Amino acid sequence: MIPVQGVQNQTIAVLGLGRSGRATAAALTEGGADVVVWDDGADTRASAEAEGLTLRDLTRETAWEGVSALITSPGIPHLYPKPHPAIAMALRLGIPVDNDIGLFFRSFATRDWDSFDITPRVIAVTGSNGKSTTTALIHHILTEVGRPAQMGGNIGTGVLSLDPAQDGEVVVLELSSYQTDLARALTPDVAVFTNLSPDHLDRHHGMGGYFAAKRRLFAEGGPDRAVIGVDEIEGLYLADQLSEGPQDDRVIRVSSETKLDAFGWSVFAKKGFLSEYRKGRQVASIDLRAVTGLPGAHNHQNACAAYAACRAVGIPPREIEAAFHSFQGLPHRSQTVAEIGGVRWVNDSKATNVDSAEKALLAFKNIRWIAGGMGKEGGITSLVPHLGNVVKAYFIGHSARDFALEVGQSVDYEIFATIDEAVARAHAEAQSGETVLLAPAAASFDQFPNFEKRGEHFTALVQALKG
């Protein structure tokens, strides 16, 4: 746990008592604060009270007497579509509103650091797609090369549940737009922006607000190094805003589409090869084609971002390359779960929309594609131009017939009620050299509570095929 600094003898309110809210209350208490809490769920409130937490109905103005600050969980709206009533009350009363990320950045450094030989550092990763894989890959590389490291934030451990820093440690954080939008302190040593595509637009009142939330990670704290994916206009703009010119190597530009050889520092992937350039000269190259845990151009972008972040904290290229090869990928994200009779089985259950499914379909050849579930607005018509690698599609669940109508004659397909039936048929038909890919392009809620359970079920079915 990281005790929150600067709150001793203050009354601090915590709104939302999920994982991050409970951890925040504990860290504030450890820091000497008098903590009061509230949650909209009656069962959650009862559980919190049974654990000894002090409830106070923060939707009532009388509850705010003596309160110095409100710490809110990231899932609770603070601006759009409209603020939660408790947050609206705090805003009207002029009570500072923050979140656990803000508390982390103001509390992580301690006087103990004065005795360290190497100052701990924080790498923070944000973006629309790939941030979980990039975060996990950075942490994996650091661990493989022997650097003490922790991982948390929007992945794994909540930030205030991390351990206090060790000498020379690197903390790697995945930060969502919900988290960066509100945090009053954002001071990473290295900040990473992967890419931007439409997401959470109701929460941010459009793309401009969504990008602005991501941009705060770079604008508020001024990281020593900024790793910026420049394959979209927002990344190009952000890199330009942060640099004093093309040779400013405080900004490391990253691409999986474009050769970047005219900048002070850049990392890019072309035709499966990662290249690092410094001041117009190539200084390193890695063949990513044989890295099984990072298939496809989208993962090559993740590899470039992770490589750049690790280079920014002094990891040599050859050590990064070796760590790439031992990275198994994250569950449910282009995860190879087995090879049976020369057939590769890939679990990309996280591909719940057409953008993610498109990236998966472009990452492999000779695909037997399992897709379906609760289809989303717009269907999968936009995927039709990207089905050239698909040998056959196996559509499942609620939207199976809709998907079949949308692809028409562009690909051979068959319809199934369940994923079990699709896996069995794909196993019977797949030939050596092919890939059976679960990339649903749909939510899981017709048959599974979430994409993780869907992916776990697929993995179990595949493992059973091995006998």
φ, ψ of residue 269 to 5 degrees: the values are -120, 130
Q: Are residues 369 and 450 in the same domain?
A: yes
Q: How confident is the model at residue 144 (pLDDT cuts 50, 70, 90)?
A: very high
Q: What does residue 331 show for φ and ψ, rounded to 5 degrees?
A: -55, 140
| Residue at token pair 């003490």 | 148
The answer on 271 and 351 residing in a single domain is: no
Inter-residue contact 374 to 454 (CB < 8 Å): no
User: DSSP string spanning 102-149?
Assistant: HHHHHHS--GGGGG-SS--EEEEEE-SSSHHHHHHHHHHHHHHTT--E
Q: What is the DSSP letter of 412?
A: -
Q: Which of 98, 118, 134 marks a domain boundary?
A: 98
**Residues 77-109: pLDDT tens digits?**
999 999 999 999 999 999 999 999 999 999 999
Q: Please indicate, yes or no, whether residues 94 and 237 belong to a single structural domain of this protein.
A: no
CATH number of the structural domain spanning residue 449:
3.90.190.20
Question: Is 235 marked as a binding-site residue?
Answer: no
Ligand-binding site membership of 128 (annotated): yes
* Residue 195 marked ligand-binding: no
Domain shared by 121 and 93, yes or no: no
Q: What is the band of 324 on the pLDDT scale with cuts at 50, 70, 90? A: very high
Q: What is the pLDDT of residue 197?
A: 85
Contact at 8 Å (CB) between 48 and 42?
no
Contact 382, 450 (CB under 8 A): no
SS (H, E, C) 353-373: CHHHHHHHHHHCCCEEEEEEC
Q: Residue 311 sits in a domain of what CATH number?
A: 3.40.1190.10
Residue 417 belongs to domain spanning: 335-465
The predicted-structure confidence for 160-204, as pLDDT tens digits, reads as follows: 999 999 999 999 999 999 999 999 999 999 999 999 987 778 889
How many domains in the chain? 3
Distance of CA 10 to the CA centre of its chain: 34
More confident residue, 292 or 264: 264
Residue 1 lies in a domain: no
Do residues 172 and 159 lie in contact, with contact meaning Cβ atoms separated by under 8 Å? no
